[in-house]
Structure 1
């Protein structure tokens, strides 16, 4: 699975400044989807925003998930929570990940991509 090609096929994806191998796109307002590929190119982490989107926060969450390989792999549980996250004035202190069998972000559009993405989101 070539994740970069799959994201390019979305058509509206733009590079995330300051985070290599990461893109964001909006399928329709008010949604913003951000995705970063792991260092080896075989897994990705995706954060979706609705209504309010902070580029810096999304970049920090994706970098944290990538650094810790959060929820990566077929053996990962349905949910993984990792404390120790912080960013600016936000009070979130953890990042959680949902496995591909739980999130279904790309189900029905790109099954292969869906199987190599951890859905990541902020938690307390």
Structure 2
């Protein structure tokens, strides 16, 4: 389709300085959008910022994505992440180390105003390596869930690491409702680790981006083990520190 002609009708559109075949536009003051044609001109690579749009960052992300688009989606056609991104030189306000690419079946942009455009748009955002499965094996449903969780258009955000969890708390009569481990936020893991105290039979299982799984139980104290290993006694602060290191660390 004629992507240039469609983009020419976007409100407030102008060329994006510092990157060829790239544009900025905005529908409302709070949101800034930037897009660049793919290397073959067949797709629009697009990002947005909600109250946080930054032109230097946009140029860096779109340039990285255009140059390495094939690698970005090579392992997962729905949801690709690629390490090696560096924010603009001298910008200490950003510490992103990756770029994520998002396919139309995940982002579903332009359903009303330009439905013909949707299949030709790949969203790209700066991100953190800890937020994505190292094996790049997220299913379509998982990719949609993570896309909704991460709030990628908040460009000043902190990392939200990849975390799957299931739990049962016999003292508070709470448990996860998913059939297996489901996505959640680190603060929920920390809460469940603390709340299990005194609840015999309570447990928390958590999985990081490398697919490694640990289980913490309460049996007159906290016991922790990686799957298949013998448990050891720990204090709750040690368990919390250990878990956060496994979630935020690159090597897991």
**Deviation at residue 118 of structure 1 after TM alignment:** 0.6
1:97 is the counterpart of 2:101: yes
Normalised TM-score (structure 1): 0.90
1:8-19 aligned within 5 A: 8-19=8-19
Cα deviation, 1:41-82, whole Å, max 9, x if unaligned, reads 11111001010121100110000110111449xxx5221000
Aligned residues: 122
Q: Aligned to 2:116, which of 90, 112, 119? A: 112
**Deviation at residue 109 of structure 1 after TM alignment:** 1.4
Match for residue 42 of structure 1? 42
Higher relative contact order (CA 8 A, sep 6+): 1
Normalised TM-score (structure 2): 0.46
| SS at 2:109 equivalent | coil
Answer 1 or 2: which has greater helix percent: 2
Question: Unmatched 5+ residue regions in structure 1?
Answer: none
Larger Rg: 2
Match for residue 67 of structure 1? 67
Please list every run of at least 4 consecutive aligned residues from structure 1 whose deviation after the TM superposition is greater than 3 angstroms.
none
Residues 11, 27 of structure 2: 8 Å contact kept: no
Question: Unmatched 5+ residue regions in structure 2?
Answer: 129-252
